[in-house]
Structure 1
Amino acid sequence: MPERLLDDETLESSAVVANSAMNRERQLAGVNSYTRELGFNPLEWIMARTAQSLQTTIGWLDLCCGTGRCLLQAADALARDGLDHLVTIVGVDLVDFFDRTPVPGTALQLSCASVTSWSPPRRFDLITCVHGLHYVGDKLAVLTRVAGWLTDDGRFSADLDLDSIRLADGRPAGRKLATALREAGFTVDTRRHRIGRNGPGIVSLPYTYLGADDRAGANYTGQPAVTSYYGESPVPRRRQDVGADSSE
């Protein structure tokens, strides 16, 4: 473990965390897009959900949204089709560097906040995080919180580099962590560096956050990233699934 580990508050002022090269210019669809990174088009997924749901609005939350370009494109498409009243899109990013300010009353809300402390205004049908976890200190805490933000049949999809989650002795948490995540209700695709989840739950993982290293260097994306360190804790009780109190 490095001698110098940062807490989340200090980490958020790091130049690595403020990196503008990762998720700043990503579009909704195309070569450099959410559709390519997630393996599905989130707007099409949301629109399919509106046709099936009796809810007042369908919610999409994007964590670490960068400039919000993808979300702005999605909101514009909804407005053109007269469907923006059916969907609420919320984007959260640590850096207030959004492409433009959404028009009040439209489908999109953009917030400048830390994903480790931000609290959602509702539960969401879709939660995405494209490469954002690479720059978060307590990655497992974010996953634990996200599990409680989903609607009963909600979907979560994000990039996750398991090699960037390490134990106090420096070893990657690796296969044992992947097993714990799967037992807690997540899907883990180590080949695609992707984590997902269907439906909410109360999640407890057998790890205690120790701090983060912003000098770890590049991860599989080729960009500098943050390595998070954890101590192993006693095995928690198995998760309990919970239903959403409200979709609003």
Structure 2
Amino acid sequence: MTTPQLLSDEELERSAVVANNSMNRERGLTGVNSYARELGFDPVAHLSALSVSPSWLDLCSGEGRALREAAGRLPTAAVLTGIDLVGPPGPAPATPGVELVTASVAGWAAPRAYGLITCVHGLHYVGDRLGLLARAASWLTPEGLLVAHLDPDSIRWTDGTSAGRAVLAALRAAGFTYISRHHRLTLRGPRSVRLPFQYLGADPHAGPNYSGQPAVASFYRRLGS
């Protein structure tokens, strides 16, 4: 296999696959097409069980519908933040406690710690997904939980072969848990994560992944190689 022409994060975000992806645009909190179904648990139940005020950061949050629905079931002190490259199609309804930020997750930094951090199928469209995971690991509260969908087959070496096995081994060594059946990566509690890989760029023409939707392949090299 040969390496395709790789795009920087800025170029990637202008590509048709990323700019036009519909993941999470209208996904609700519970029900058939919901966060509860994709995550395997009710986000509000998790947040309500925390010993501190609920706080949820949703990366690649789409229109933020799930956050707005959660706000109605949580105390008024709850902090719910959604980050999305495109964001709502128009001015989002004002919901107390909910902040929807239109920004690239590649350069965004959390201003506080969160009890729940989610990225429901959003990593499929992020270039440096390992860099985002490493940063997000430090944004958790002591009892916080990070859950993200990850496709190891879309992480590749410079020659185009899969880096998935090596990447999963490094993530597990850093404290993450991966359930291959559901493609869910989880982490409990904050930590400083340094993964032994250098991001090289992304290919938006990699084709469909396990979700059946066109996705992005991210290319890395092992540090020291």
TM-score higher than 0.5: yes
What residue is the counterpart of 1:44 in the other structure?
A: 45
CA distance in structure 2 between the aligned counterparts of 1:3 and 1:234, rounded to whole angstroms? 23
* Contact 2:3–2:159 under 8 Å retained in 1: no
Structure 2 residue 149 is matched with structure 1 residue 148: no
Structure 2 residue 80 is matched with structure 1 residue 89: yes
- Which residue identity is paired with 1:70? A
What residue is the counterpart of 2:22 in the other structure?
A: 21
What residue is the counterpart of 2:62 in the other structure?
A: 66
- Which residue identity is paired with 1:88? V
Deviations 1:71-113 (A, max 9, x none): 11111333xxxx222x100000000325752427x11111001
Q: CA deviation at 1:39?
A: 0.3
- Which residue identity is paired with 2:82? G
Structure 2 residue 221 is matched with structure 1 residue 231: yes
* Secondary structure, counterpart of 1:97 in structure 2: coil
CA distance in structure 2 between the aligned counterparts of 1:172 and 1:11, rounded to whole angstroms? 20
CA distance in structure 2 between the aligned counterparts of 1:68 and 1:190, rounded to whole angstroms? 27
* Secondary structure, counterpart of 1:125 in structure 2: strand
* Secondary structure, counterpart of 2:66 in structure 1: helix
Deviations 1:115-138 (A, max 9, x none): 111111200111000000000000
Q: CA deviation at 1:153?
A: 1.5
What residue is the counterpart of 2:71 in the other structure?
A: 75
CA distance in structure 2 between the aligned counterparts of 1:36 and 1:98, rounded to whole angstroms? 24
* Contact 1:69–1:98 under 8 Å retained in 2: no
Distance 1:156 1:98, change over 3 A: farther
What residue is the counterpart of 1:103 in the other structure?
A: 94
- Which residue identity is paired with 1:24? R
CA distance in structure 1 between the aligned counterparts of 2:108 and 2:29, rounded to whole angstroms? 24
* Contact 2:60–2:85 under 8 Å retained in 1: yes
* Contact 1:91–1:109 under 8 Å retained in 2: yes
Structure 1 or 2, whichever has the larger Rg, is 1
Q: CA deviation at 1:21?
A: 2.6
Q: How many residues align?
A: 224
What residue is the counterpart of 1:241 in the other structure?
A: none
Structure 2 residue 198 is matched with structure 1 residue 184: no
- Stretches of structure 2 that go unaligned for 5 or more consecutive residues are none
Q: CA deviation at 1:188?
A: 1.3
Farther-moved stretch of structure 1 (69-78 vs 209-218): 69-78
Structure 2 residue 211 is matched with structure 1 residue 211: no
- Stretches of structure 1 that go unaligned for 5 or more consecutive residues are 236-248
CA distance in structure 1 between the aligned counterparts of 2:212 and 2:103, rounded to whole angstroms? 26
Deviations 1:32-59 (A, max 9, x none): 000000000101211122xxx2x4x321
Farther-moved stretch of structure 1 (169-178 vs 226-235): 226-235
TM-align CA RMSD:
1.6
CA distance in structure 2 between the aligned counterparts of 1:15 and 1:97, rounded to whole angstroms? 18
